[in-house]
Structure 1
Amino acid sequence: MNISILDDLEQSVTELISSAEVELAEKQLQQQREQEVEVAVQEIRDRLTLLLDQVTQTLEKFESNSVTDSLTRKKLEEKQTYLLEQLDNVYLLAAQVVDARLLQEEEQILNRQVSRELEQWRQGLKADLLEMIRDQEDFFDATDAAITVRGYLNELKEMGALEEVVEALVDQINRTSARGPVARIDNSHEQALFFIYTKAMENRSRTGRTNDIKPQTHHRKSEKQPNPYLELEGKVVIYGGHERLEAAVRSKLRGSNVVLVWCNADSGPSLWEQAESHLISADLVFIITTYTSHKLTEKAKLSCSKAGKVPQMLNSGGLTRTLEAISYGLKTQLLTRQVRSKLA
């Protein structure tokens, strides 16, 4: 086993453990959610029932006094109807209360995973840059490497590796110089890098050199920073959920080529019509059942049926589950298209 294979193995194990930690944390949150929803259901039901009893008792007084033509009575009857509707949807109300808080925890878990992957990518970038610098046996090539290094200035500063990389660059330039040491660090490493970068650009202008020195990806999976959703593409229509979940999902999918059309209980008729117009061309359709009343679920199913689509039911309104469903669904469809194109 050589070092590169060991590096790849180490990276894959780290990523696998990171994914396992997210999955276990999400599972724990789901268990916690179920317990908290039960408590919230009872609390909300008790409060709604108390209000309903008060309204009902007051209406009975109107009835016993034969007061029928009353604006107050009409408002009380409307309130009674509203409270009954809320009692019918008490589970949805409780789920929204609980998930609004748990959503923040899920975002923190996912952000920690991305941060770990980003740190791993940056360490790989540093190793690739140091390797690139060591490979430059020509003085002008070694100087040109400063142009590439400067392009990663922010990443190197973020992980505190600028000093190490600039010192390696200075050493390599001096080692390949026919006139002895010509590069040095007088003030800051960033100033030294800028000075060498300026000289490299002057050399290019004077000699007409166009040789671009690029780091390999021996220690990274990709040149791009890690983003598990960046390469996703397709159209996804979602019914249900709530605004905070939608905002969180959209935030995670930012930068991808995913067109997300979302309708929930608060969406107006125009948005429902817009969603229906996207169904025919949708790659995936989801109904988040924990946030969608029976009436809206049936409405969404009917719209899907008219468009010839079979929606997938998500019985969890969690951020992780929703993102996983979107990611898995779009990747599966992409793989299917690739296989079909090869067989065609």
Structure 2
Amino acid sequence: MTLASMARKYEPRRLPDGERQATSAMIASLAAEGYDTVAAPFGHALVEAARKDERIVGLTADLGKYTDLHIFGQEMPDRYYQMGMAEQILMSAAAGLAREGFIPFATTYAVFASRRAYDFIAMAIAEENLPVKIVCALPGLTTGYGPSHQATEDLAIFRGLPNMTLIDPCDADDIAGMVPQIIAHEGPVYSRLLRGKVPSVLTRHKPDYKFLLGKAQMIREGKDVLVISTGFMTMRALDAAEQLARDNVDVAVLHCPTIKPLDVETIAAEAAKGGRLVVTAENHTVVGGLGEAVAGTLLTRGVSIGGFRMIGLPDEFLEAGALPTLHDMYGLSVAKVAEQIKSWL
């Protein structure tokens, strides 16, 4: 963090209508206006699955309450392991339990899994192809605490790791749907996690939506622009599409919750339709994430499109502050997504 950014950390900002907006880093809620929310979908889905499968155990590195694993711990204390603030031990213990026939769910913050525990995940879990499910809160820019807690590069780190499946769920529908599917998946999984009161987005736009591991799904059709999005940026893309429709800009949204393995067939097929501008949108650095994965797919397959752009976080350490301020600053807010898309047409 620079001296200038430190000075701005507590500087009052003004919204377009002149209202002052606090920028305390303590504000860490995800704005989702107009959507119903579900309380702790991951914790409740895991409890439901564990009632049917005695192999499921839960581990956390002193963050059960902040990954919603505490719900599992309350219901099944004999299968809940509090490892303390020791992420490397957390992953090693999860690997050991997997070797004994269990299906461990290891939870912490995304920065701690991807930065502190990477070598242990690589050697003890991924190389052995063990069924450890690593589910991590505070992905990307979902906290105002600054670079120490903003996991802006976690997907890039894990994309290069063999055997690892990567998931970036959009909402409560994705989270509840992914839990039984990653349990059934035989290898290791790294999933980002939205916790607490999580919006229910996808079924409002597509009532028959069901999470499918490894599959991208079209949530909204459109003839002018194709947005390929993941994580909560699918929600932002859908809301931006509704705004742009008022300006006669027709935006399609293809939701891609599984980053690896990427659904290259669906992405290539949809991008090839109609010469539309293709835009990727992700809550992650533009280096090594969904955008570059999609670009590589289109290039190697020779898909002809009407232009390509990426919405994502810059290749830098981000500032601290209130999420609405930061999302607007870095182009992840609905208004900024709509503004960028319109400027590229």
- The structure, 1 or 2, with the larger RCO (C-alpha pairs under 8 Å, 6+ apart) is 2
Question: Normalising by structure 2, what TM-score?
Answer: 0.32
> So what's the TM-score if we normalise by structure 1?
0.32
Radius of gyration: which is bigger? 1
Between structures 1 and 2, the one with greater strand share: 2
The answer to which structure has the higher helix fraction is 1
